Amino acid sequence: MTKGIRVYELARELGVTSKKLLAILQEEMNITLNNHMATVNDQVAARLRRLVQGPETKEAEQKEEVPAGGAPAQPVAAPAAKEKGRPPQREMPSREAVNGAAPSPSVVPGRTFTWQGPLTVGELARQLGVNPTDLIRRLIQKGVMAAINQTIDFPQARDVLESMGIQVVNAEESSRKLVKKGARPLLAGDDPQRVVPRGPVVAVLGHVDHGKTTLLDAIRRTRVAQGEAGGITQKIGASTVDWEGQRIVFLDTPGHEAFAAMRARGAQVTDVAVLVVAAEDGVMPQTIEAIQHAKSADVPIVVALTKMDREGANPDRVKRQLAEQGLVPEEWGGDTVVVPVSAKKGEGISDLLEMILLVAELLELKADPQRRAVGTVIEAQLDRSRGPVATVLVQTGTLKVGDAFVAGKTWGKVRSMMDDRGRSLKKAGPSTPVEILGFNEAPEAGDVFQVKASEKEARAAAERAAEEGAAQQKRGASLAEFHRQTQEGKKELALILKADTQGSLEALQQALRQLKEEDVGVAIVHGGIGGINLSDVRLAEVAGAVILGFNVRPETSARQEAERSGVEIKTYRVIYELLDEVEKSLRGLLVPEKEEVVLGLAEVRQVFRLPGGQVAAGCYVQSGKMVRRAPVRVVRQGVIIHEGAMASLRRFKDDVREVAEGFECGISLEKFHDFKEGDLIECYEMRDVMV
């Protein structure tokens, strides 16, 4: 039985890069495989060895083709044939070999066959393990007249194999989609003649407590997680790991929110995303959001299946859940690499690093180390003793102590630099995270960092950025804005849906996907259950989407971020109102008449039982003001549990009309007495909006 081998494994055996091996397959053998994860059969592997190493591997190839039973996979030419000068027919197996060959382990008749053509009828029969005469007969039935030595193409093979009940996959068309756009473009100003390979930058994303930092500890051989409050990452960290002579930069983020924040500011920092999923918990809500963020950024995803040493680990269940989110594992015929790891036992770590480097190899990451440094601010803070401090990832060029720089609205001069291990540096090249002192004030995460010729030039650039930022605030998406864009030919309305239950969410998704008016459709960027959070707003900002909430409310931080970025949040209590408004916007008929304005938000701190069965809530006004005559709603964990009118509003013992932000008050509602500590009471009003 022949045995296949993956491209990257063969490349490592031959001492060449996967990219070079893929090029040889294309140029010398007319086989197109765009990914290192593709498998080639032993015959193709033998030809590759001969092309790379030369004819001295011929004898080794013959030995490799002898199966475990001892019989040769194909007959050796007789001595008489050699005396006549006839070359041995190594590329074309004999009829006996074809008839007696067993199917390749990657090709199971009745299931799936990966086409790596073109092939002759005899070669195809051998790989399938069928009689070539039967295959020729089936080809004739399909109208293809082909002899055993005649080459057939993919459409011809697909028709006949599907008639045999075999699913056919074209290796060229279904090559791994880890890399969608090929090589990463060079940054503006890089000299193509001076560029050198750089290390990949990897963002570690996933659900809280799924082991992101513990996984990095195993890689870095440190104990960062033990020193963190509650064992959860509290800030963005950047660290470097050297593996097999290559540098990998890891960004350890608190979930995916910081990743989205940098993307929202236009920072293309990450080359590869490692999605951490616990084998015992599976795909969780934050996991799904992380997948959506990585897809929105068009970043290749490698899945690290952690906590494989736990008793409840169920990798097959997790892989099914990943497949439901569009990440089909490569062993199931998909395009996502899933690497099982155990951070505590150190198992699978080397495999994960190898996969990251293989993905980076196909990205062709390069930078110009001789130019002025350009990078991105990863995190920033105001240190009491050192002043403004920022972690900057140098993406191209070389940063030196004494360089003048600008980062967004801030500027400065590099006074000192330290690497991720606290060591002082004089200079830092591409793919190097450094902590910098010398900012005039703390920059924002995601700001572009650029070295200038002088401090005067850096200050002038920062002042221009500040003026431009004040004059032009970034606009988010809204239904009214989409109405105007439809007049200019926009074809798709991007939406983020949040609902109170999974059933409501599925009903909304199904109904919205059916809405389409004159080639203008709906694209659901993300759907989830629970309240509208900060991550939803940042994703909407990146994707240019409108957030629609059904029976849920936005968190305070989410509402503030939406107001800052211009992202529209629309909430509904009736599903038909939501569908009707979206449909009107698709038709270009949306004319807003009323707008809901939140007046104030108060948190229930204590519940009081009053005589007569009445219940009052002792509240603290978090924002805005509470108005007695305004309608109110009670929100518990992001879900609306009651809407109605306010029965009374008191400040100490006095009835008042309103209570401002920062003050305490007592609130009782009509027909509602089930207050709980932590509930939010929101008062609002409906205002007419002029169009």
> SS in 3 state form for 49-83?
HHHHHCHHHHHHHHHHCCCCCCCCCCCCCCHHHHH
**What burial letters (b/e) apply to 205-231, b meaning 16+ CB within 10 Å?**
bbbeebbbbbbbbbbbeeeebeeeeee
376 within 8 A of 395, measured Cβ to Cβ: yes
What is the separation, in whole angstroms, between the first and last Cα of the chain? Answer: 74
pLDDT at 632 (0 to 100): 94
82-128 tens-digit pLDDT = 343 444 443 444 333 333 333 333 344 445 676 655 678 888 888 78
- How far apart are the C-alpha atoms of 113 and 333, rounded to whole Å? 10
**What burial letters (b/e) apply to 352-371, b meaning 16+ CB within 10 Å?**
bbebbbbbbbbbebbbbbeb
- How far apart are the C-alpha atoms of 25 and 19, rounded to whole Å? 10
Residue with tokens 């040769």: 72
- How far apart are the C-alpha atoms of 352 and 350, rounded to whole Å? 5
Give the distance from CA 256 to its chain's centroid. Answer: 9
- How far apart are the C-alpha atoms of 262 and 609, rounded to whole Å? 48
- How far apart are the C-alpha atoms of 155 and 160, rounded to whole Å? 9
Give the pLDDT band of residue 422 (cuts 50, 70, 90). confident
DSSP letter string, 24-41? HHHHHH-----STT-EE-
Q: Is the pLDDT of residue 474 over 70?
A: no
Mean pLDDT score, 303-313:
83
Q: Is the pLDDT of residue 487 over 70?
A: no
Cis status, amide bond into 315, omega within 30 of 0: no
pLDDT at 681 (0 to 100): 94
The H or E element that residue 525 is part of is: strand 520-529
User: 474 in helix, strand or coil?
Assistant: coil
Instruction: List the beta strands (DSSP E) in 610-674.
Output: 615-627, 632-636, 639-644, 646-651, 654-655, 658-660, 664-669
Q: Is the pLDDT of residue 617 over 60?
A: yes
pLDDT at 66 (0 to 100): 42
Q: What angle do CA 47, 52, 55 make, to 5 degrees?
A: 70
Token couple for 374: 């350009």
Q: Residue 502's CB: how many other CB atoms inside 10 A?
A: 11
pLDDT at 405 (0 to 100): 94
Q: Hey, what amino acid is at 559? A: R
- How far apart are the C-alpha atoms of 686 and 629, rounded to whole Å? 13
Dihedral of CA 401/402/406/407: which sign? positive
Q: Residue 478's CB: how many other CB atoms inside 10 A?
A: 18
pLDDT at 259 (0 to 100): 56
Percent of the chain at pLDDT > 90 equals 14
Give the pLDDT band of residue 255 (cuts 50, 70, 90). very low
Higher pLDDT, 245 or 65: 245
pLDDT-wise least confident of 154-158, 393-397, 424-428, 602-606: 154-158
Mean pLDDT score, 217-225:
65
- How far apart are the C-alpha atoms of 200 and 431, rounded to whole Å? 7
- Look at residues 612, 427, 583 and name the one whose alpha carbon lies nearest to residue 513: 583
pLDDT at 667 (0 to 100): 93
Residue with tokens 């490692």: 274
pLDDT at 665 (0 to 100): 93
Q: Is the pLDDT of residue 50 over 70?
A: yes
Using the 8-state DSSP alphabet, how is residue 408 labeled?
A: T
pLDDT-wise least confident of 82-91, 328-337, 560-569: 82-91
- How far apart are the C-alpha atoms of 135 and 132, rounded to whole Å? 5
Give the pLDDT band of residue 253 (cuts 50, 70, 90). low
